[in-house]
Structure 1
Amino acid sequence: MLRLSRMSDYAAVVMAQIARYPDSAHAAAELSDAVGVPRPTVSKTLKMLMQAGLLTSRRGAQGGYRLARSPHQISVSEIIGAIEGPVAMTECSQDGSVCELAATCGVADNWQRVSMAIRQFLDSVTLADLAQTAPIKLPLMLPIQSVSVASISDA
């Protein structure tokens, strides 16, 4: 099964909660209560999101966490990347990766195309989209050239 870690899910939930009230500063305890995620997990998530430049923080009575940019300018891909690292389906799909099977594998280019399509899609969905309580109207995907079985066996 292909799925995101719980931390990525929690990061999206926390970011969506902040995005719903973008003019307010949010304390970790308040966010924890609002989304039902334990405070230590929320604190860890907030730290990772800050390190990725998606949040800012300020200490003090008027302090708390805020979005570093508008929710319309933060992509789901960035949120996932802050927790998981770069989005890639396989090791060879990551920039700069070295795979010992590269010379004989025969599917690396196609895995890279799949990874690119997923990244493009995740880049097209914003935090503002995610924070809506109504279902997201998903953007149309660009058509990806299909490859027939015959063209693979001819290669």
Structure 2
Amino acid sequence: MLNSLHIRMSFGISTKADYGVVLMTALAENAKGSPLSLRAISKHKRLPYSFLAQIVRHLKQARLVVSKEGLGGGYALARKSNTITLKEIVEILDGPIAIAPCTRDGRACPTQHICGTKSEWEKLKTNISDLLGDTTLADIIKSSS
């Protein structure tokens, strides 16, 4: 019976990656390119400041954002918005795209002989990964205006 083989699957991205995309989009929308304070983004987007601070650290380590300290400081994109993909952001914050446990890290599935769905999950993973890789911050801004 499948009850003994129940595997918890999650479709979607984490709140961390979602907020990361919102943060990066806010920086991309800043036409001037001047740094934006995290507090201002937090207030404008109604997102928790402390969580954004954790997220921006990862994005800075990955060199997607740069920071400027002091008066007039804040964060800005390190590259042009048309070169930063959703896949980059999601994978920095969530790790590699995985649809089901059997699609993580290319590992073998111990129940594949009775389940048989791994190849379908892999196709879905590839499609989602390709879509995220083809979508840039500039695309998001264009579609929201």
TM-score of the superposed pair, with normalisation by structure 1: 0.75
Is contact 2:82–2:138 with CA below 8 Å preserved after alignment?
yes
Is contact 2:11–2:99 with CA below 8 Å preserved after alignment?
no
User: 2 CA distance for matches of 1:53 and 1:43?
Assistant: 15
**Which stretch shows the higher mean deviation, 60-69 or 23-32?**
60-69
User: 1 CA distance for matches of 2:51 and 2:142?
Assistant: 23
Gaps of 5+ in 2: 1-9
1:80 aligns to what? Answer: 90
Gaps of 5+ in 1: 136-155
Which structure shows the higher helix fraction? Answer: 2
Q: How does 1:135-154 map to 2 (within 5 A)?
A: none
Aligned residues: 135
Is contact 1:48–1:82 with CA below 8 Å preserved after alignment?
yes
**Which stretch shows the higher mean deviation, 119-128 or 6-15?**
6-15
User: 2 CA distance for matches of 1:2 and 1:98?
Assistant: 20
User: 1 CA distance for matches of 2:84 and 2:59?
Assistant: 11
Structure-2 change in CA distance of 1:103 and 1:18 (3 Å) = same
Report whether the alignment pairs 1:4 with 2:13.
Answer: yes
Cα offset, 1:25, TM superposition: 0.7
Q: How does 1:27-66 map to 2 (within 5 A)?
A: 27-66=37-76
Q: Per-residue displacement from partner, 1:9-56 (whole Å, max 9, x unpaired)?
A: 211111111001151112211211221112112211211222333212
User: 1 CA distance for matches of 2:25 and 2:109?
Assistant: 37
Q: Per-residue displacement from partner, 1:68-123 (whole Å, max 9, x unpaired)?
A: 21110011111111221111111222334343224554222221111011100111
User: What letter matches 2:57 in structure 1?
Assistant: K
What is the aligned-residue identity percentage?
Answer: 30
Task: State the Cα RMSD in Å.
Answer: 2.1
Is contact 1:17–1:131 with CA below 8 Å preserved after alignment?
no
User: 1 CA distance for matches of 2:53 and 2:25?
Assistant: 15
**Which stretch shows the higher mean deviation, 126-135 or 2-11?**
126-135
Give the secondary-structure state (helix, strand or coil) at the position aligned to 1:111: helix
